[in-house]
Amino acid sequence: MNVKTFYDERTSTLTYVVYDQETRDAVIIDPVLDYDPKASKTWTESADQVVEWVQQNDLKPHMILETHAHADHLSGSQHIKETFPEATLAIGKHITDVQALFKKVFDLPDDFPTDGRQFDRLFDNDEEVEVGSLQFKVLYTPGHTPADVSYLFRADDGEPDAVFTGDALFMPDMGTGRCDFPGGSAEDMYDSVTQELYTLPDETRVFVGHDYQPGDREEVAYESTIGDQKRNNVRLDAETGREEFIRGRDERDSTLDAPVLLFQSVQVNVDAGNLPEAHDNEVSYLRIPINVFRPNTEEGQTEEREVAAT
């Protein structure tokens, strides 16, 4: 099993192509659609780089995998499906919880589906999947959002080889994903990492969803191992207690600004990367709510404001 990495500097996002050199079977994980919030303009440079590389290497992308509904970049999945219409767009089944939550936040139309039908396939927790010669298991790793999954790919002998953790685990010098988005939970994050990811063999490769280059680190880093994470993760190593992590994660999250593309990204990504339908004037519009989240100073979390369904 081979891994090709693409890094989007604008959003610090990693996109991966996992492929078998012999059979040419492949999957694409977490593609990016470029978006400029100042001009509210989209373009496809990042996704095109992935498409061109896949075509140049004569790969057969069977699936486009999303680890969660991202809050920091728009998904490029629909653009990739235009080129590879046979590729199945898949995500964990708990995306329906996120769809229901944000349908209220954005006051989306009554007919906006919250059963996940926008995606081609919803994975069950712990589902084993075969994609040509590739094999992976869907690990339910909530915390960053209530719907996050990680993808554990197996070697030819069936043993764990590489896990793609999205925003659950970052590089050891960064720690873990934040947990203050609606439905996020530091408690769930601790359990996901310690009871799911850290039970994998130490030699299992870990590929992360973002690299924010903490401490002015110059080089982009995206690959570690479970053993390295357990020894050196600055927020959650093998010795970190549950209450210690929860307290530290909540304190850290209380200091963080919202992602620049929070509302634009989530609104598009809960709809499987589809941009809103154009109005009669042939222009599409994104909905940006005002004061819908407020800080909770007692707990250091960001809470969802009560939004009545209409």
- Which residue positions in the chain have pLDDT lower than 50? 295-310
pLDDT at 307: 37
Residue 50 · residue 28 · CB < 8 Å:
yes
pLDDT at 169: 98
pLDDT at 291: 87
pLDDT at 226: 98
> Could you report the per-residue pLDDT of 208-266, keeping only the tens digit for each?
999 999 999 999 999 999 999 999 999 999 999 999 999 999 999 999 999 999 999 99
pLDDT at 294: 53
First to last CA, the chain: 48
pLDDT at 301: 42
pLDDT at 292: 81
Residue 52 · residue 37 · CB < 8 Å:
no
Helix H or strand E segment including 55 = helix 45-56
Name all domains of the chain by residue range, CATH numbers in brackets: 2-304 (3.60.15.10)
Q: What is the DSSP string of 226-288?
A: HHHHHHH-SS--TT--HHHHHHHHHHHHTTPPPPTTHHHHHHHHTTTTPPPPP-TTS------
pTM score above 0.85: yes
pLDDT at 306: 38
